[in-house]
Amino acid sequence: MNQITTIAFDADDTLWVNEPLFTQTRIRLEKIVAPYIPIESLEADLYKFENQNLSLFGYGIKGFMLSMIETALEMTNFKLSGRDVQQIIDLGKDMLQHPVEVLPGITETLEALKGRYELMIITKGDLFDQETKIARSGLAHYFTRVEIVSEKNPTTYQELINRNGLDINRFLMIGNSLKSDVLPVCKIGGKAIHIPFHDTWVHERVESHEADGVEYLELGDVRDLIPMMNH
């Protein structure tokens, strides 16, 4: 770690709370469709539509809202009322306006790292939503670079490294997702630290064998970075 000069952070569920908001919204969706159908399969059906729609809508709340509407219409055989559809749209609006809850230890950690490392945000999702969350988080002043991308894979990270004139040997990525934040960076020769979050979207989960042979660190608390990077 004594070679590191640039530290990049994921945003959602690394810097601030994100996935629990989606979980809470899905529970609210269940109440809307419950008068029409049994809701036992709603979570699986919703993910099926989300997954199908990723190539069209990308990641983020707006795509999630459209997938909720499509799921509810299909599951109820289009018996859903216009008022119910409006309720689902309102769920999405509530998510977009939800206060940004910075995770414990983040501000303390960024304060300790600033000035000694170049700090970046690399996040995926809807451009407007992510930009506003960064602004509302109160953390923007810690970061000299912000990259909002449509997908996080080895190709994307390599392009980011090249475009920003960074040295992969001096680059460290930190995030809650093995699939998006850790494994792709390791595959192009970078270093990564996994900080698990208690609520992880099924799309971001990986099988244990997918991480076999990949070297990365795992920390239980972001504040553990402070002594590690204090060299």
The span from the CA of 22 to the CA of 43, in Å, is 11
pLDDT surpassing 60 at residue 206:
yes
In this structure, are 83 and 133 located in the same domain? no
Q: Are residues 113 and 219 in the same domain?
A: yes
Position 1 in a domain:
no
The pLDDT confidence band at residue 113, using thresholds 50, 70 and 90, is very high
| Residue 182 included in any domain | yes
pTM: 0.91
**DSSP labels, 66-124:** HHHHHHHHHHTTT---HHHHHHHHHHHHHHHTSPP-BPTTHHHHHHHHBTTBEEEEEEE
Tens digits of per-residue pLDDT, 55-111? 899 889 999 999 999 999 999 999 999 999 999 999 999 999 999 999 999 999 999
| Rounded average pLDDT over 143-152 | 95
Instruction: Print the domain residue range for 50.
Output: 19-96
Q: Whole-angstrom Cα distance, residue 228 to residue 91?
A: 41
- Domain annotation covers residue 146: yes
Residues 106 and 213 in one domain: yes
Exposure of 72 in the CB half-sphere (CA atoms within 13 A): 27
Do 199 and 110 share a domain, yes or no?
A: yes
In this structure, is residue 69 part of a structural domain? yes
Domain CATH for 188: 3.40.50.1000
Give the model's pLDDT for residue 214: 83
Tens digit of each residue's pLDDT (9 = 90 or more) over 161-191 = 999 999 999 999 999 999 999 999 999 999 9
Mean pLDDT of 18-44: 93
- The span from the CA of 143 to the CA of 35, in Å, is 47
Q: How confident is the model at residue 201 (pLDDT cuts 50, 70, 90)?
A: low
Using CA atoms, how far apart are residues 70 and 75, in angstroms rounded to an integer?
8
According to the model, what pLDDT value does residue 202 have? 64
Whether 146 and 169 map to the same domain: the answer is yes
Q: Are residues 118 and 197 in the same domain?
A: yes
Let me know whether 80 and 149 are in one domain.
no
Q: What is the number of structural domains in the chain? A: 2
Region 102-131: what's the mean pLDDT? 96
Q: Are residues 24 and 86 in the same domain?
A: yes
Final residue of a domain: which of 51, 71, 96?
Answer: 96
Q: How confident is the model at residue 198 (pLDDT cuts 50, 70, 90)?
A: confident
Do 113 and 218 share a structural domain? Answer: yes
Mean pLDDT, the chain, integer: 92
